[in-house]
Amino acid sequence: MIYQHRYLDGSSLHLPVGKVVCIGRNYLDHIRELNNPIPETPILFIKPTTALVALNQPIQLPVGRGECHHEVELAVLVGQLLQNAEAKTARQAVAGYGVALDLTLRDLQNELKKKGHPWETAKAFDGSCPLSLFLKPEALPHPQAIDLSLRVNGEIRQQGNTQQMMVGIFELMAYMSTHFSLQPGDVVLTGTPAGVGPLTSGDVLILNLAGYEFSARVA
Ligand code: ZN
């Protein structure tokens, strides 16, 4: 099934499907759990459009490439072109908020990191970004103070609040836009709180964003 951006209330969303721009480390507790140094500047990477799949479709894990970890993240849908933008402008350009999984081939990523190579093959594979329906911006008037959690088979694995981000949502979008144009239909992932871990076939996931629940299942 071809992925398209959609609003939760079913109203139409006429934005193309663009790239996904992500930040590697943005919650302190997650940086500590992986024993990573605190970055001086945000670590950015991109997932291509082929990474995007609807969260309500069965999640396909790559086969034979080691552990595939869940990273639950607030996703921001970009509605207007941003280039060298300020945070205020970035906020006005938001077309919606959703929740995504930044699926990560952790064993492969660790090997790549050891060699000093880019993470691309561990992060940007087909289907590596299951994405929920979007809430309209007015549904989340305080996006920098919302709870975010992931349950796997009924057990809480990740829990955080967007207040814990080191780089705030709109500052992050502004910073990203100094490196890459953010175009209408692009998606920004804002980092994951602690608790990342492997997914296995048959896992049932509940992602919660500010009280809105989205379910998913690993094929
Ligand atoms: Zn991530």
Do residues 2 and 50 lie in contact, with contact meaning Cβ atoms separated by under 8 Å? Answer: no
Cβ burial, residue 172 (10 Å; 0-12/13-18/19+):
buried
CATH number at residue 180: 3.90.850.10
Dist. CA 190 → ligand 1 center (Å): 7
pLDDT by residue (tens digit) across 149-173? 999 999 999 999 999 999 999 999 9
Dist. CA 1 → ligand 1 center (Å): 24
Do residues 199 and 61 lie in contact, with contact meaning Cβ atoms separated by under 8 Å? Answer: yes
The domain in which residue 189 lies consists of 20-141+163-201
Dist. CA 138 → ligand 1 center (Å): 25
Asked if the structure places residue 1 within a domain, the reply is no
pLDDT by residue (tens digit) across 100-144? 999 999 999 999 999 999 999 999 999 999 999 999 999 999 999
Dist. CA 172 → ligand 1 center (Å): 14
Q: How many domains does the chain have?
A: 1
The token duo for 7 is 């609003």
Arithmetic mean of pLDDT, 93-101: 98
> Predicted confidence band at 204 (pLDDT cuts at 50, 70, 90)?
very high
Closest CA to 91 of 150, 155, 169: 169
Dist. CA 122 → ligand 1 center (Å): 11
Asked if the structure places residue 82 within a domain, the reply is yes
Dist. CA 191 → ligand 1 center (Å): 5
Do residues 215 and 206 lie in contact, with contact meaning Cβ atoms separated by under 8 Å? Answer: yes
Dist. CA 189 → ligand 1 center (Å): 7
Dist. CA 13 → ligand 1 center (Å): 25
Asked if the structure places residue 64 within a domain, the reply is yes
> What dihedral angle (degrees, nearest 10) is formed by the CA atoms of 77, 189, 112, 199?
-100
Asked if the structure places residue 153 within a domain, the reply is no
pLDDT by residue (tens digit) across 38-79? 888 899 999 999 999 999 999 999 999 999 999 999 999 999
| Cα distances (Å, whole numbers) of residue 212 to 86, 161, 186, 202 | 29, 14, 22, 23
Dist. CA 22 → ligand 1 center (Å): 7
Do residues 147 and 184 lie in contact, with contact meaning Cβ atoms separated by under 8 Å? Answer: no
Which residues, in sequence order, are CB contacts of 193 under 8 Å at separation 6+?
27, 29, 30, 72, 148, 158, 159, 160, 164
Q: What is the pLDDT of residue 12?
A: 80
Give the sheet arrangement for strand 204-209, strand by strand. Answer: 155-161, 147-152, 204-209, 212-217
H helices of the chain, where?
28-33, 87-92, 106-115, 120-123, 169-179
Asked if the structure places residue 170 within a domain, the reply is yes
Asked if the structure places residue 120 within a domain, the reply is yes
Asked if the structure places residue 14 within a domain, the reply is no
Dist. CA 81 → ligand 1 center (Å): 23
Kindly report the number of other CB atoms within 10 A of residue 211's CB atom: 7
Dist. CA 116 → ligand 1 center (Å): 18
Q: What is the pLDDT of residue 35?
A: 85
Asked if the structure places residue 137 within a domain, the reply is yes
- Please state the pTM of the whole predicted model: 0.96
Arithmetic mean of pLDDT, 17-30: 93
How many Å is the Cα radius of gyration of the chain? Answer: 16
pLDDT at residue 145 tops 80: yes
Dist. CA 44 → ligand 1 center (Å): 10
> Predicted confidence band at 89 (pLDDT cuts at 50, 70, 90)?
very high
Q: What is the pLDDT of residue 193?
A: 95
